[in-house]
Homo-oligomer: A and B are copies of this chain.
Amino acid sequence: MNNKIILIVDDESQIRKLLEINLENQDYKVLMASTGEEGIHMAASHQPDLILLDLGLPDINGHEVLKQLKTWYMKPIIILSVQNSESDIIKALDNGAEDYLCKPFRTGELLARIRNAMRHAEVNNHDNKIQTGLLCIDLNTRTVSVDQEIIKLTSTEYQLLTLLASNQGKVLTHQFILKQIWGPSFVEETQYLRVYIGQLRKKIEINSNDPKHIVTESGVGYRFF
């Protein structure tokens, strides 16, 4: 359900553990780094949706880490720090931190502030597309296009196409497809499948008499390319 990734950058292993447990409890995926350098690298390689950054790191000064991250990292950074000094708070916020929490913090409050930050970030999800030849299936927007032209598919047609397409190159048996899309009691209704495969071919194939995307495996099933 929740697949947001949070990166924790903190040198105290107890704090990391505590955060890890609580965040995973909320179904966040958790990444951890114990130094500033490691944190920056992990942020770059994993593109987390939010960073929890401790200011008191062993290698680089936390404010410096924040500044570096802010040059390219667009998502929220929440500062966690034992330093309760006003100048630190002001500096961090003015450097673009999303929020500032003093340790020891209350878990519930932290979680609420994380939700708050995520809401602010509300960046649209990265796209999830299957592209092959002129055919493009955008699983995110649920749009199918052939040569840039958007094709209208019924619900069943779309389900069938995505089932085939997400198993590209693999033969799916009639029974398997029928079970997946119509349900277990329809495994004998091969004719349904033929009708729908025909409709799909008319819509997505350049020449539906010579299908390149949905190939028949006689006596077995269909295969998508």
Which residues of A are at the interface with B, using a C-beta cutoff of 8 A? Answer: 86-87, 89-90, 93-94, 96-97, 99, 106, 108-109, 111-113, 115-116, 119-120, 140-143, 154-155, 158, 169-171, 217-220, 223
> How distant is A178 from chain B, measured CB to nearest CB, in Å?
17
Q: Contacts of A113 on B, CB cut-off 8 Å?
A: 93
In the bound complex, CA of A211 to CA of B170 (Å): 28
**B115 close to A171 (CB less than 8 A):** no
Q: Contacts of A115 on B, CB cut-off 8 Å?
A: 93-94
Q: Contacts of A94 on B, CB cut-off 8 Å?
A: 112, 115-116
**B120 close to A93 (CB less than 8 A):** no
> How distant is A115 from chain B, measured CB to nearest CB, in Å?
7
**A218 close to B154 (CB less than 8 A):** yes
In the bound complex, CA of A223 to CA of B141 (Å): 9
Q: Contacts of A218 on B, CB cut-off 8 Å?
A: 154-155
Q: Contacts of A142 on B, CB cut-off 8 Å?
A: 170-171, 217, 220, 223
Q: Contacts of A99 on B, CB cut-off 8 Å?
A: 99
Find A155's partner among B90, B108, B220 (CB 8 Å cutoff).
Answer: B220
Do A106 and B93 contact each other (CB < 8 Å), given the known contacts A154-B218, A218-B154? no
Q: Report the 6 A-B pairs with minimum CB-CB distance, sorted nearest first.
A: A155-B219, A142-B171, A90-B112, A141-B170, A93-B112, A93-B116
**A112 close to B89 (CB less than 8 A):** yes
> How distant is A26 from chain B, measured CB to nearest CB, in Å?
13
In the bound complex, CA of A35 to CA of B115 (Å): 29
Which of chain B's residues has its CB closest to A170's CB?
B141
In the bound complex, CA of A170 to CA of B143 (Å): 8
In the bound complex, CA of A97 to CA of B220 (Å): 40
Q: Contacts of A171 on B, CB cut-off 8 Å?
A: 141-143
In the bound complex, CA of A123 to CA of B65 (Å): 23
In the bound complex, CA of A170 to CA of B142 (Å): 7
**A108 close to B90 (CB less than 8 A):** yes
Q: Contacts of A112 on B, CB cut-off 8 Å?
A: 89-90, 93-94
In the bound complex, CA of A171 to CA of B143 (Å): 8
